[in-house]
Structure 1
């Protein structure tokens, strides 16, 4: 009989799981718990979260694409019918910012918004940023190379993604630190540890964030530039322009999604590469090897672990009967460890060429920023290791208590 730690209980016969997501042993190394779930109970009801969760690769992949599930539910049913609570007054600003979020909408609204934004994120447009991303990474290493040590998140990982997505949208570089603060507060709403204090911080930052974006919108209406915000303001889709509220929501989600996960992934990737003890020169010997290495880090240490969906109709999945209005969770990071798809799934293998990882999702909500994130990772990781060939970890990395995101609090390095 398998022995589990005291904060984990798995009952395969009933597919019930009790797991304290606030326990540092779990969020510090969730992969080994995902492995236990794959072995005993890949589809399970998480008692503390009061939801069904899916970890199997095929189930997660299919559910992400299944149009019987969606990110939105109130377009087909009302709160009273579903037994949902009324909006909370202290989250008015956050809810307004989320109302027109690409992440929260279903067609046809999602199609209209995504069509207007998607042109800026197709690979041929993103490729043009290659020299700019490389120059920024080289400049940042220049700043700390002579020191012989650095805390990589604050000196490197935090800066690159937020700078690039802000420049694309049309926000000046000096706003970077403020954007980071707003974003950190905002995404606190998605964490399992969420407190009322977190909610108040998210609402306050949502208001400040929105006010700043509205100021930019007013400027770009009268004086357009060659940036994404101007494009969104002045481009129509089937005779319709985006409203100010839609522009605010879209800009906020692009800024948050365009950097938050990539910051985590840069730190996670550097950690797993250094801890592997494998040849770094081999990992980055050419573009193909670099791409395989990056995809393997995305597989084994994904930055976002869970996507949620509403059942839009009564449906049965893997023997689980779901009613319209039920919410389910798909653990992308666990799907990436499915032993049915990946050999030795807990082992980092940069040469691996098996199933595609699901770290960016799938279906109509596939991460719009995936080409940008992949380009950033494929450029900045080789630059970092080429510039600092004797790089090593100085202190045991600390993982943030932010499940269901997965990232480091600090990554102290020396060379």
Structure 2
């Protein structure tokens, strides 16, 4: 049994009881992860009633394993799997999910990703460098004289949502609405969302889709040099994206294009300020900055779980038997602190050189926006610390009550 508060581990049976709403856990999951790594990195989690995997090698391998997928109803019926019917009050939310790049498998995934991918390759993203730098400086100009700031709303949110909106060709003044819709939708990805959360997410989905319908109509009438126009006009094998696919893909890019990056900027700044290390040294060069950013992604990842379905009956090497339709959870945050992969994994060590983290996933569903997120982090973090060399925490930042997305409620800084 584990001595870590809030978690009960039966190592030999590989059974775990863990309440994700326990503040001891969601505020700092690292002690629980260490206990799991020591006793059973593959385990049956009693509360959600499914298998989870925390070890780096197994998570990395399962992310790439084509026997698992993000959807299941392309290979089985609800009746066959005993799945409940869709909830009527989630119709608008489900309509967006049905064509989401994140939820599809080949060939639909391949077709969609090919049409979108060109905008996210590194050479295209690199052209955004001056925009990201100028935006970072402009935001700091707006609060530098105040001597204090709440960083998430002012800086961490503004940069990624502004950049992805500009890329897509969506008016930047719509950013507050985009953020509101996104926040309401993302709450659906935690364990057991409440009925109120479901209603909120569905309403946000309907409003978001309605807004994008109007924007897409404008782009069709008056094409521009932006990603949304590119998606409207692009073809693959004579096919174009349908209206539903355009809306779902745009919603995904807007949500994913800022939600995780917001948390990562906040987590990184908090981690650096609490580490006792000198920011000037961490960002002394492009190489040092890149190492620091990768260590922030490893140590304080924003996304901790990625779920997949078994597409057939599967027997894993360690004796775990899965039936077609079973869901598994891949614990990205735990894999990033596996002591079999990383030395002193619970320590923030920006000079470590022990291989890649899995914060962006791997395989077919590797994050399409990873080059953009990395560029935003590699530019916004050093600019912040150089402009405000006396930066320090005003108080201990509160952590969001959300396990899947590990981030801060707010980040109050003074200088």
Q: Using the alignment, how far apart are the partners of 2:327 and 2:129 within structure 1?
A: 40
Cα distance between partner residues in 2 of 1:408 and 1:141: 20
**Residues 253-264 of structure 1 correspond to what in structure 2 (within 5 A)?**
253-264=252-263
Distance of 2:323 and 2:306 partners within structure 1: 19
Structure 1: state its 5+ residue gaps: none
Are residues 1:137 and 2:157 paired?
A: no
TM-fit CA distance, 1:32: 1.6
Native 8 Å contact 2:391 2:413 kept in 1: yes
Q: Does 1:31 align with 2:30?
A: yes
Question: In 1, distance between residues paired with 2:294 and 2:392?
Answer: 22
Deviations 1:266-288 (A, max 9, x none): 00000000000012111000000
CA shift, 1:2, in A, is: 4.9
With the length of structure 1 as denominator, give the TM-score of the two structures. 0.99
1:4 equivalenced with 2:4 (yes/no): yes
Partner of 2:288: 289
Q: Tell me, what secondary structure is at the counterpart of 1:398?
A: coil
Aligned residue number for residue 239 of structure 2? 240
Kept after mapping to 2: 8 A contact 1:17/1:44:
yes
Deviation at 1:192, TM superposition (A): 2.2
Aligned to 2:391: 391
Deviation at 1:3, TM superposition (A): 2.1
User: Which residue in 1 is equivalent to 2:248?
Assistant: 249
Unaligned ranges ≥5, structure 2:
none
Equivalent residues of 2:4, 2:31 under 8 A apart: no
Matched, 1:154 2:164: no
The 1:79/1:193 distance shift into structure 2, 3 A limit, reads closer
Partner of 2:332: 332
DSSP 3-state at the match of 1:251:
helix
1:230 & 1:32 partners in 2: Cα distance? Answer: 47
Q: Output the CA distance in 1 between the equivalents of 2:311 and 2:93.
A: 24
Deviation of 1:314 (Å): 1.3
Residue of structure 1 in register with 2:171 after alignment: 172
> Are 2:2 and 2:8, in contact at CA under 8 Å, matched by a contact in 1?
no
Query: Equivalent residue of 2:17, what SS?
Result: strand
Structure 1 residues 297-347: Cα deviation after superposition (integer angstroms, max 9, x where no partner): 000000000001100111122221111111100000100001011000000
Q: What CA distance in whole angstroms lies between the structure 1 residues aligned with 2:355 and 2:371?
A: 18
The corresponding residue for 1:114 is 113
After superposition, give the CA deviation of every residue in 1:111-168 in whole Å (9 maximum; x if it has no partner): 0000000000000000000000000000000011000000000110010000000110
Cα RMSD between the aligned structures? Answer: 0.8
Work out the CA distance in 2 between the residues paired with 1:68 and 1:38.
Answer: 25
The alignment status of 1:186 with 2:189, answered yes or no, reads: no
Match for residue 367 of structure 2? 367
SS at match of 1:226: coil
Indicate if the aligned counterparts of 2:4 and 2:32 stay in contact, CA closer than 8 A. Answer: no
Rounded to whole Å, the distance in 2 between the matches of 1:275 and 1:166 is: 32
* Alpha-carbon offset, residue 53 of structure 1: 0.2
Which residue of 2 is the match for residue 351 of structure 1? 351
User: How many residues end up aligned between the 2 structures?
Assistant: 414
